[in-house]
Structure 1
């Protein structure tokens, strides 16, 4: 789907094509909203983060670099950063509990119902060692900063950064197969 659908739509969006942008929104909005809601836990803030992300996507579509990841990954990172900004601004982090790692990774029956990309991501996450998976989960699912992951896992900052960096590299390799 990525290469056949999203990339051409993003290229047309970069040229100012509103119909392509509308189609891109139609295809990806539920996924981006889910990311924002997972981090923010409040629908009104998730709506705001998603809307702000699409404005940024519209204005920056031409800056997307295919070598740095998929279109959807690029879009998710935009909504994630916006959600993190809103978390800081509204101090949302104090209102939510950290999610249980096991609850965030689907079990086999759940994974069967997920789309192909989500199934592959779940399988790739399972291939990571425990500390890498946990650090990535805390940073990307719970939206913690590196320093907060350090405090939560009681490990040095350099170790946390290494786990996250190596884990993301492993995920990227696994997902590109």
Structure 2
């Protein structure tokens, strides 16, 4: 399997992960500063609750601190590895049923204070516009994928199926399901560049 050459940003993240595996606190802080916004976005899209997303983000970075030595550059890009940790932490929380939909009657709901700061602050119109453009590009690229690859990615990333569950659902061998996801992600990455 050909391993794509790392970009400068990916190499920097890989170097930070290597330093973190030796318990370098400064490297951990740099990694957090470079990646937390993206990971928070992944988490909040999955769990849809800011306070829960904050907890999962913390759990994600605890896992990164403890497991940085397990990252292998030839298998995935550093950001892909980090996103998979955040995604898995989010899906674990959802699967455990700890996320309950809250019904909120109008009289008891209170708006956030205007001076409340943090990652859950209001999304600007520009951010919404940029996200809409990204969604459109992603949908276009998904539509160009082989149907089995597209379905595999959708089931794995949007519905949270594991490779085993994916293979059972699509009635194919486990290796085939894994290959479809891997090839689909490769083609998707190439299209989105």
Q: TM-score, normalised by structure 1?
A: 0.69
Partner of 1:2: 9
Q: Give the conservation status (yes or no) of the 8 Å contact 1:37–1:43.
A: yes
Q: Does 1:22 align with 2:26?
A: no
Partner of 1:132: 149
Q: Deviations over 1:72-119 (max 9, x none)?
A: 111111111111110112254x85xxxxxxxxxx99x814xx9xxxx7
Question: Highest Rg: 1 or 2?
Answer: 2
In structure 2, runs of 5+ residues without a counterpart are 1-7, 102-128
Q: Which moved more, 1:140-149 or 1:8-17?
A: 140-149
Q: Does 1:33 align with 2:47?
A: no
Q: Does 1:67 align with 2:69?
A: no
Q: Deviations over 1:119-163 (max 9, x none)?
A: 7x7775444123421331232134245687689xxx543279745
Partner of 2:133: 110
Partner of 1:55: 62
Q: 1:14 to 1:145 in 2, by over 3 A?
A: closer
Partner of 2:116: none
Give me the CA root mean square deviation: 3.6
Specify which structure has the higher proportion of helix: 1
Q: Give the conservation status (yes or no) of the 8 Å contact 1:2–1:72.
A: no
Q: Does 1:86 align with 2:93?
A: yes
